[in-house]
């Protein structure tokens, strides 16, 4: 797959709430994730760390009211999209959060994702 195809497929899977499917299909085995600075700025590697972080985040979600992801903006070997979530957190109450998600592609797989 080229970068445009990977970007389109990631958006499709995220819109279906199939993040684990996206990790399996589109990400390199030990990809690097850079979390939001506001959430500690942690750097994770690979599916096991991504899954653990996702489960920790989801455990704080009382209700997901809405999640949207924009169509991707694609360059040669990278792309970006905007993810917006309207959630009620057990610890922070209801929030509408928006972040820019940036992805780097190499050899047909996502190798880096960064959230801003």
Separation CA 28–CA 109 (nearest Å): 5
3-class SS string, the chain: CCHHHHHHHHHHHHHCCCHHHHHHHHEEEEEEEECCHHHCCCEEEHHHHHHHHHHHHHHCEEEEEEEEECCCEECCCEEEEEEEEEEEECCCEEEEEEEEEEEEEECCEEEEEEEC
pLDDT in tens, 79-109: 999 999 999 989 889 999 999 999 999 999 9
Whether this model's pTM surpasses 0.85: yes
Which residue ranges make up each domain of the chain? 3-115
CATH 3.40.720.10 describes domain 3-115: no
pLDDT at res. 115:
92
pLDDT in tens, 6-62: 999 999 999 999 988 999 999 999 999 998 877 677 899 988 888 888 788 788 888
């Amino acid at each position: 797959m080229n970068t445009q195809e990977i970007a389109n497929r990631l958006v499709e899977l995220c819109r279906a709430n199939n993040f684990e499917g996206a990790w399996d299909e589109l990400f390199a085995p030990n990809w690097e994730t850079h979390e939001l600075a506001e959430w500690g700025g942690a750097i994770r590697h690979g599916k096991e760390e991504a899954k653990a972080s996702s489960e920790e985040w989801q455990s704080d979600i009382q209700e997901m009211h809405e999640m949207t992801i924009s169509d991707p903006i694609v360059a040669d070997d990278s792309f970006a999209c905007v993810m917006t979530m309207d959630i009620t957190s057990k610890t922070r109450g209801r929030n509408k959060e928006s972040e820019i998600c940036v992805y780097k592609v190499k050899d047909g797989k996502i190798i880096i994702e960064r959230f801003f």
